[in-house]
């Protein structure tokens, strides 16, 4: 599915464009509640994954590729790998600012949920934002 910028994320993005609010590194987190992103969401809308081996990933500013054709992508695919028995059903991911914790955007996987059950189960995401 497409990225969803909620109202708070849209306003934050606009303020960063005009340098009213300083940009921060972003943190990508998986969520395990059955949420379809909406424009009234905040970070609290999402329940973060807890499977063994899971850890949120910081996306550092310098590691994004140069924007091209109205899109910007992270330089490397990010992998969340399970390291033991688990019961999480993953529906998507959400991205927050590293310091403020404010939700910027989220995305539900089109074929959600992905059942994380055993060691070695992995979810791979290449963060990409399109402006078109």
Partner 1 sequence: MWDKLKKLFSKEQPVEVQVDIPFLITRDWRKGMWVVCNGLPAILVTIADPCEIHYVDKKTGETTNISFVPITALRQAKFTDIPECRLGISEEKAKELGYGT
Residue 102 interacts with partner 1 (CB under 8 A): yes or no = no
The number of beta carbons lying within 10 Å of the beta carbon of residue 59 is 17
- Member of 17, 25, 39, 117 binding partner 1 (CB under 8 A): 39
Identity of the residue, 26 or 43, whose beta carbon is nearer to partner 1 in the bound complex = 43
Q: How far is the CB of 32 from partner 1 (least distance, A)?
A: 11
- Least distance to partner 1, CB of residue 70, Å: 17
**Count of residues that bind partner 1 according to CB under 8 A:** 19
| 90 contacts: CB under 8 Å, gap ≥ 6 | 30, 31, 32, 49, 109, 112, 113, 114, 115, 116, 123
8 binds partner 1 (CB under 8 A): yes
Q: Would you call 64 helix, strand, or coil by DSSP?
A: strand
């Amino acid at each position: 599915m497409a990225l969803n910028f909620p109202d708070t994320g849209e306003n934050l993005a606009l303020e960063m464009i005009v340098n009213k609010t300083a940009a921060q590194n972003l943190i990508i987190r998986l969520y395990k509640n059955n949420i379809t992103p909406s424009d009234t969401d905040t970070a609290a809308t999402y329940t973060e994954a807890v499977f063994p081996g899971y850890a949120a990933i910081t996306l550092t500013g310098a590691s994004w590729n140069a924007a091209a054709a109205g899109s910007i992508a992270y330089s490397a695919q990010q992998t969340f790998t399970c390291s033991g028995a688990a019961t999480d059903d993953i529906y998507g991911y959400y991205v927050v600012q590293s310091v403020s914790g404010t939700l910027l955007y989220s995305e539900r996987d089109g074929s959600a949920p992905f059942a994380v059950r055993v060691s070695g189960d992995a979810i791979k995401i290449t963060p990409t934002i399109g402006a078109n």
